[in-house]
Amino acid sequence: MRVRVALLLVVLALGAAPPVSAQGVAVAGRLTILEKNRKPAKDLGAAVIWLEGPGPGPVARTDLRDVAIDDKVYVPRVLVVPVGATVRFPNHDPFRHNVFSVSEPNQFDLGLYGRGEAKTWTFAHPGLVRVFCNVHPRMVAYVHVMATHHYAQPGADGTFTVRDVRPGRYVLHAWHERVAADAVQEVVVGAAGVTDLQLTLDARGYKWQQHPDKYGGNYSGGGRERY
């Protein structure tokens, strides 16, 4: 018995790594977006960061998530949900909207509905879903449907933390609507997690372009909004 106790004390004295908790560890860092004329990015919080790799999938959700329509704007503009989540689109404007998406395989069309009404859609497949309005061409939202629970959105200063990550090898993705291609890099997560990731996205080539309506054509009136 004394030999076993002595061996245990030696291991502790050598600084053996503590066991990883059942909740996993954190992967944290800071995101930077390069802008034209070196202007600071004002929408760092609209980015999405996620890890692909070993580990359990997302926990099933039973609650609704809202993307509200207020003064011809989707709020929030960017929403991240697990596969199988249901999103509600309440209309707070005094006129009708037609929420739709042609992003396969999550395409949908909620039709026209007015103030005080709300319609829902359940997102059954992972992927980025671009959500538009068939009445107002400048309305856009992005729903990221995740097949993993390892995701986060940065704060206003670009700092982010992905929690509950089990040690292993992952591929990290960073997305922003004004960047043509995701930033992708391999990340090895050890027992202590990762605290100093530095990610950079380049938005200097961004140029807004008009999307087609839900039929694949141009908005009537040359893109002018109609009620």
Convert the pLDDT of each residue in 90-125 to its tens digit: 999 999 999 999 999 999 999 999 999 999 999 999
User: pLDDT tens digit string along 201-210?
Assistant: 999 999 989 9
pLDDT at 109: 98
Amino acid in the structure at residue 150: H
Amino acid in the structure at residue 226: R
pLDDT at 60: 62
pLDDT at 64: 86
Cβ atoms of residues 111 and 21 within 8 Å: no
Amino acid in the structure at residue 40: P
pLDDT at 221: 56
Would you say the CATH fold of 58-147 matches that of 21-56+152-207? Answer: yes
Distance CA 155, CA 66 (A): 20
Distances (CA, A) of 180 to 202, 205, 207: 8, 8, 10
What dihedral do alpha carbons 146, 214, 43, 169 form, nearest 10°?
20
**Top-level class of domain 58-147:** mainly beta
Distance CA 50, CA 153 (A): 9
User: pLDDT tens digit string along 23-77?
Assistant: 799 999 999 999 999 899 999 999 999 999 976 666 666 678 999 999 999 999 9
pLDDT at 5: 31
Residue 14 — pLDDT band, cuts 50, 70, 90? very low
Q: Which CATH architecture has domain 21-56+152-207?
A: Sandwich (2.60)
pTM of the model: 0.85
User: pLDDT tens digit string along 177-219?
Assistant: 999 989 999 999 999 999 999 999 999 999 989 999 999 999 9
User: Residue 130, exposed/middle/buried by CB under 10 A (0-12, 13-18, 19+)?
Assistant: middle
Distances (CA, A) of 9 to 14, 16, 20, 96, 192: 9, 10, 20, 71, 22
The domain spans of the chain are 21-56+152-207, 58-147
223: left (phi over 0), alpha (psi -120 to 50) or beta: left
Residue keyed to tokens 């400048």: 138
User: pLDDT tens digit string along 135-178?
Assistant: 999 999 999 999 999 999 999 999 999 999 999 999 999 999 99
Give all strands of the β-sheet with 194-202 in edge-to-edge order. 159-165, 25-34, 194-202
Strand ranges, E, within the chain: 25-34, 48-52, 64-66, 68-69, 74-75, 78-82, 86-90, 97-101, 108-113, 118-122, 127-133, 140-146, 151-152, 159-165, 168-175, 183-189, 194-202
Residue 13 dihedral angles phi and psi, to the nearest 5°: -65, -30
Residue 22 — pLDDT band, cuts 50, 70, 90? low
